[in-house]
Amino acid sequence: MHRNVDIKVAVLLGLIGASVFSVPLLTADRYMLRVLTFVGVNVIIVAGMALLFGYAGQVSLGHAAFYGIGAYASAHVVTVFGWPWVAGVAIAIVLTAAGGLLLALPSLRLRGHYLAMATLAFGEIMRVAFVEGKGVTGGPDGLSGIPFPSFLGIEVDSAGGNYWLVWSAAAAVLLIASNLVRSRAGRAMLALHGSEAGAMSCGMDLTGLKVRVFVISAAFAGLAGSLYAHVVGFISPSTFSLHVSVLLVAMAVLGGTRSLAGPVLAAVILTMIPFADAVIPGLSRSAVETIQEWQEDVYGLTIIAVMLFVPGGIAGALRRIAAKGSVR
């Protein structure tokens, strides 16, 4: 019976994967491809947020900072040092993982919600640094002319190519994340959610676990930032503001706990809402503007409603529906 379920899940994932990857074959609409590429970038970050919030029970109010560090570091080494873009990606991942470690170690050593506060402060410090560190970041105007990624000397400059690149990275990140949650480490994360005392009695190092999860989530954001910089070609501080950090929290919260699929779905929905016209043909400009006008209110109310009335977010709701179905 378990095997049957596994096969069904594998088939479903295969179908979803195939349809995601076939999009550039079906359309040449550059706007739509760019929006969907951006969705892929957010999916990468949210995979880490899902591990952090949904599994380790911690919240970061400053993940846009890691996103930004990844973007600026990658852009800098490529445009100024002339390094290949792959080196930029590697630097982005290493730097953000190291930054995540430095931030998480002291704040997770203590009980309480220090991590939320420390990440909030860190995010704001980095925002100031992005604006004021003109020598590296280009200040408020940002950096432009970041080259596209290239393979064997061939630049990936088509919208479809970039889409494939970002979604391949997203698939890799999701594979890593899903391996993690189904492993000994994932069981430990679920355990510390259930009972911290019980987890300690199983020999689990709670601080170590949370720190590791935070480092992974920071590195995912760094990777996303690096890809964003290369695919879009232009970065500026507003892309990495507190607002973005909060939006990422909204995705993780709406998506729900103990799940990767839920937060990924939430990331897809929340990222597309302001660009609804990219996927809904014929949606008028003014309708899109109205959506954007009320976007914040809707997101804010969604966060509150989920915390109050939908324990476990989308994932939790689906689990409850599934449980009812199996009883029947």
Partner 1 sequence: MGGTELLQFGLAGLKNGSIYALVALGFTLVYAATGAINFAQGEFYMLGGMLSVWAYADLGLPLPLAAVTGVAATAVLGGVFELAAIRPRKDGDPLAIIIITVGGSMVLSSMARHLFGPTERPLPAFSGGGSVKVFGASLEVQSVWILGMTALAVAALWYLYNRTGLGRAMRACAVNRDAARIVGVDTRLMVTVSFVLAATLGALAGLAVTPLTQTVFDVGPSVGIKGFAAAILGGLGNPIAAVVGGLVLGMLESLSIAFISSTYKDAIALIVLLSVLFLRPQGILGRWRREKV
Partner 2 sequence: MSLLEVRDVTRRFGGLTAVDAVSFDVHEGMIKAIIGPNGAGKTTLFNVLTSFDRPEEGTVRYDGVDITSWRAHHIVRRGIARTFQNTELFEEMSALENVMAGAHAVTRSGFLAAALRLPWTVREQREVAEESGRLLRLVGLGEWADAPAADMPHGLRRLLEIARALATKPRLLLLDEPAAGLNIAETSALAEALYRIRDRGSTIVVVEHDMGLVMEVSDEIVVLDRGCKIAEGPPRLIQKDPAVIAAYLGEEEADEL
Using CB under 8 A as the criterion, which residues of the chain lie in contact with partner 1 when the complex forms?
Answer: 57, 59, 61, 106-114, 116-118, 120-122, 124-125, 128-129, 132, 196, 206-207, 242, 246, 249-250, 253, 293-294, 296-297, 299-304, 307-309
Choose the binding region for partner 2 from 79-87, 106-114, 191-199, 234-242 (rule: CB under 8 A): 191-199
User: Binding of partner 2 at residue 57 (CB under 8 A)?
Assistant: no
Choose the binding region for partner 2 from 110-118, 154-162, 196-204, 281-289 (rule: CB under 8 A): 196-204
Contact 199, 206 (CB under 8 A): yes
Q: Binder to partner 2 among 187, 293, 296, 300 (CB under 8 A)?
A: 187
User: Binding of partner 2 at residue 186 (CB under 8 A)?
Assistant: yes
* Nearest approach, Cβ of residue 264 and partner 2 (Å): 17
CA distance 50 to 288: 29
CA distance 261 to 55: 13
- Give Cα separations from 16 to 9, 166, 267 (angstroms): 11, 16, 16
| Residue 85 or 220 having the CB closest to partner 2 | 220
Number of amino acids touching partner 2 (CB under 8 A):
27
Residue 85: name the closest of 166, 28, 30, 21 by CA: 166
Tell me the two tokens of residue 239: 């892309």
User: Binding of partner 2 at residue 188 (CB under 8 A)?
Assistant: yes
* Nearest approach, Cβ of residue 192 and partner 2 (Å): 9
- Please report the sign of the dihedral spanned by the C-alpha atoms of residue 83, residue 88, residue 91, residue 96: positive
Contact 255, 50 (CB under 8 A): yes
- Give Cα separations from 7 to 4, 40, 128, 168, 274 (angstroms): 5, 26, 50, 23, 36
* Nearest approach, Cβ of residue 65 and partner 1 (Å): 11
Tell me the two tokens of residue 99: 């930054």
User: Binding of partner 2 at residue 202 (CB under 8 A)?
Assistant: yes
CA distance 147 to 221: 20
- Find where tokens 């470690």 sit: 101
Contact 255, 266 (CB under 8 A): yes
Choose the binding region for partner 2 from 17-25, 106-114, 133-141, 199-207 (rule: CB under 8 A): 199-207
Identify what 16 binds: partner 2, partner 1, none; CB under 5 to 8 Å per kind: none
Identify what 212 binds: partner 1, partner 2, none; CB under 5 to 8 Å per kind: partner 2
Judged by CB under 8 A, the chain residues 241 through 270 that form the site for partner 2 are 258
* Nearest approach, Cβ of residue 67 and partner 1 (Å): 18
- Give Cα separations from 199 to 59, 62, 181, 189 (angstroms): 20, 28, 16, 9
CB atoms within 10 A of CB 2: 6
Q: Which positions lie near partner 2, rule CB under 8 A?
A: 176, 179-180, 183-188, 190-191, 193-195, 197-206, 212, 216, 258
